[in-house]
């Protein structure tokens, strides 16, 4: 298949894969095929949304992460934690307890990712408010969405707001803060505890950005298990362990990563849409010119946004409820127990951070086109139409492609054979054009010998 352009955090372990095709059937960009009894990923089409990860019954899809011991390569070991991590646990698990476990694991500093939203809110609001902008402006927050737009909706690549994510702003801030305190650059390791795979992919191969201030990524489920184990074993929180002495997060900042977290803070008519199928449906409507007069779009690949990230362990609805409750406490000023309001603020380095808020243009790279050359694309399309006439339109997936249309396109691209279709096989067998033994071989090539033993 085509060469890999993206770094993907999702890895398919072929030795574990049982070729059940659940992943193929849920993939919103049709990036998966079955060959030789195994799921195969077409890298160019994958946007790292993680739908496949959620449905795999045998754990054959894993999310690549950095070796945890890598943190000890650095003297200053910063854990960047999203609020969603705190929302994983019921209220009885205190923030200082969570911090204790993180410090116990070896981190020397803990910083909440949401601090980065403070500067972004103003910068984004300003852009959304500017006249002569291509509308609606689309947030660059969710990396799976940025990639989705690149490959499936290239028309909207220029609608994406070219600003860093809160994560990158926070990482840049904390790094600078440590540098200013005398740390050497090579002594600082900034590790993000991620709720999703797309963030990892974005850090390893950023879209529209040169490099990243983030050293490595730790999967949230790994940390979740450490914290839960510690709580279950009855370890008490160390008094000295808490969030850094920072100005506390406002409610709007705390809720930024949840659905409507951005849209409610943007000027004009702003809309929030979560879950990738919903996003695709909406972007298609937009392509059809059926959507007008919207200034800002917050688009998130996961249901309930980051609370529904594939690496979260807690129920996403409870996570949202807890974080909203906590934000209400902050709002009412009743949270003194949780946070101590001490001087330092990300705004102290506002000038430094603002100077590097922008990222490069997001380049469209359509995966829909049948061929670069239009004449060839027309020939291929004619063939797709012809092939579709002999396919059953039931999208059963027995051919190893997710839909009849996907099979027809795979055939014209030379990646598949029409005899992979079980309906076509039956017809050909009936007419004596395909010996039974041969059709069996075709099926084995798709689903593997094992399934026919």
Partner 1 sequence: MSEKVGVEYNVDGGNFTRAGYASSEIKKILKKLNVDMGIIKRTVVATYEGEVNIVAHAYSGTIYADIDTERVRIVLRDEGPGIPDIEQAMEEGFSTASSQVREMGFGAGMGLPNMKKNADVMNISSEVGKGTTVEIILYFKQIASS
What part of residues 5-34 is at the interface with partner 1 (CB under 8 A)? none
Min dist CB 134 to partner 1, Å, is 11
**Does 154 contact partner 1 by CB under 8 A?**
yes
Helices and strands (H, E) in the chain, number of each type: 17, 11
Assign residue 241 a region: left if phi > 0, alpha if psi is -120 to 50, beta otherwise?
Answer: beta
Question: Per rule CB under 8 A, is residue 269 in the interface with partner 1?
Answer: no
Tokens 């291929």: give the residue. 380
Instruction: Pick the stretch among 140-148, 220-228, 256-264, 285-293 that binds partner 1 (CB under 8 A).
Output: 285-293
Rule CB under 8 A: choose which of 4, 281, 284, 360 binds partner 1: 284
Which residue in 123, 370, 418, 434 binds partner 1 (CB under 8 A)? 370
CA pair distance 229, 167, nearest whole angstrom: 27
User: 146-168 burial by CB neighbour count: b if 16+ within 10 A, else e?
Assistant: bbbbbbbbbebbebbbebbbbbb
Is 363 an interacting residue with respect to partner 1 (CB under 8 A)? no
Residue 389 as a binder of partner 1 (CB under 8 A): the answer is: no
Is there binding between residue 382 and partner 1 (CB under 8 A)? Answer: yes
| Residue 151 near residue 29, CB atoms below 8 Å | yes
Asked if 287 interacts with partner 1 (CB under 8 A), we say: yes
371 near partner 1, judged by CB under 8 A: yes
Report if residue 366 touches partner 1, rule: CB under 8 A.
yes
- 386 touches partner 1 by CB under 8 A: no
Q: Is 375 in the site for partner 1 (CB under 8 A)?
A: yes
Tell me how far, at minimum, the Cβ of 269 lies from partner 1, in Å.
15
Pairing outcome for strands 137-138 and 188-194: unpaired
For partner 1, the closer of residues 284 and 344 by Cβ is 284
- Count of positions on this chain that bind partner 1 (CB under 8 A): 23
**Within 10 A of 332 (CB to CB), how many other CB atoms are there?**
9
Q: Any residues with CB less than 8 A from the CB of 51 and at least 6 apart, and which?
A: 23, 26, 27, 28, 276
Report whether 60 contacts 39 (CB < 8 A): yes
Question: Among 289, 351, 430, 453, which residue interacts with partner 1 (rule: CB under 8 A)?
Answer: 289
- For position 433 contacting partner 1 by CB under 8 A, the verdict is no
Least separation, in Å, of the C-beta of 382 and partner 1?
A: 6
Closest CB to partner 1 among residues 134, 342: 134
- Start-end of H helices in 233-304: 251-254, 276-287
Please state whether beta strands 76-81 and 188-194 pair in parallel, antiparallel, or not at all (unpaired). parallel
Restricted to residues 314-353, the positions that interact with partner 1 (CB under 8 A) are none
Q: How far is the CB of 409 from partner 1 (least distance, A)?
A: 8
Cis peptide before 269 (omega within 30 of 0): no
The runs of H, that is alpha helices, within 56-152 are 83-86, 95-105, 117-129, 143-152
Exactly one of 58, 155, 184, 394 binds partner 1 (CB under 8 A); which one? 155
Residue pointed to by tokens 């937009």: 286
Give yes or no for residue 379 binding partner 1 (CB under 8 A): yes
**CB 159 within 8 Å of CB 47:** no
The residue range among 108-116, 137-145, 377-385, 423-431 that interacts with partner 1, by the rule CB under 8 A, is 377-385
CB of residue 368 vs partner 1: minimum separation in angstroms? 5
* Minimal distance, residue 259 CB to partner 1, in Å: 26
Contact range with partner 1 by CB under 8 A, out of 33-41, 197-205, 217-225, 283-291: 283-291
| DSSP, res 163 | B
Q: Per-residue x/- mask for partner 1, residues 104 to 143, rule CB under 8 A? A: ----------------------------------------
C-beta of 287 vs 433, nearer to partner 1: 287
Indicate whether 182 belongs to the interface with partner 1 (CB under 8 A): no
In angstroms, the CA 250 to CA 257 distance is: 13
Please identify, using beta-carbon distances, which residue of 371 and 429 lies nearer to partner 1: 371
Instruction: Say which residues have a Cβ less than 8 Å from residue 9's Cβ, sequence separation at least 6.
Output: 48, 63, 64, 65, 197, 198, 200, 201, 204
- Which of 369, 426, 450, 451 is in the footprint of partner 1 by CB under 8 A? 369
CA–CA gap between residue 108 and residue 114 (Å, rounded): 19
Give the binding site for partner 1 (CB under 8 A). 154-155, 284, 287-290, 364, 366, 368-375, 377-379, 381-382, 385
């Amino acid at each position: 298949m085509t060469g890999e352009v993206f770094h993907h955090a999702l890895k398919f372990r072929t030795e574990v894969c049982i070729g059940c095709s659940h992943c193929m059937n849920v993939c919103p960009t049709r990036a998966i095929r079955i060959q030789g009894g195994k799921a195969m990923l077409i890298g160019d089409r994958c946007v790292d949304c993680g739908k496949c990860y959620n449905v795999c019954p045998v754990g054959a899809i894993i999310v690549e992460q950095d070796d945890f011991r890598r943190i000890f390569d650095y003297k200053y070991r910063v854990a960047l934690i999203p609020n969603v991590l705190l929302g994983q646990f019921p209220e009885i698990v205190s923030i200082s307890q969570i911090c204790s476990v993180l410090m116990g694991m070896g981190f020397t500093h803990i910083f909440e990712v949401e601090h980065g939203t403070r500067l972004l809110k103003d910068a984004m609001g300003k852009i959304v408010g500017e006249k002569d902008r291509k509308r609606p402006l689309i947030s660059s927050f969710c990396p799976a969405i940025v990639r989705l737009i690149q490959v499936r909706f290239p028309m909207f690549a220029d609608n994406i707001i070219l600003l860093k994510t809160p994560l990158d702003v926070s990482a840049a801030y904390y790094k600078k803060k440590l540098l200013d305190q005398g740390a050497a650059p090579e002594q600082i390791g900034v590790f993000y505890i991620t709720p999703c795979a797309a963030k990892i992919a974005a850090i390893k191969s950023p879209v529209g950005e040169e490099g990243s201030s983030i050293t490595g990524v730790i999967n949230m489920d790994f940390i979740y298990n450490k914290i839960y184990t510690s709580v279950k074993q009855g370890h008490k929180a160390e008094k000295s362990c808490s969030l850094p002495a920072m100005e506390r997060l406002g409610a709007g900042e705390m809720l930024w990563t949840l659905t409507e977290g951005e849209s409610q803070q943007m000027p004009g008519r702003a809309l929030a849409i979560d879950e990738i199928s919903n996003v695709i449906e909406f972007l298609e409507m937009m392509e059809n010119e059926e959507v007008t007069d919207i200034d800002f779009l917050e688009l998130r690949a996961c249901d309930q946004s980051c609370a529904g990230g594939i690496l979260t362990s807690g129920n996403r609805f409870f996570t949202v409820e807890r974080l909203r409750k906590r934000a209400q406490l902050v709002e009412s000023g009743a949270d003194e127990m949780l946070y101590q309001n001490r001087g330092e603020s990300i705004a102290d380095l506002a000038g430094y951070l603002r100077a590097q808020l922008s990222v490069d243009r997001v380049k469209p790279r359509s995966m829909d086109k049948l061929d670069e050359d239009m004449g060839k694309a027309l020939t291929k399309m004619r063939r797709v139409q012809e092939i579709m006439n002999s396919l059953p339109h039931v999208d059963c997936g027995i051919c190893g492609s997710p839909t009849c249309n996907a099979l027809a396109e795979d055939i014209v691209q030379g990646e598949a054979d029409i005899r992979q279709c079980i309906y076509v096989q039956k017809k050909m067998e009936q007419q004596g054009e395909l010996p039974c033994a041969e059709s069996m071989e075709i099926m084995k090539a798709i689903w593997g010998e094992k399934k026919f033993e």
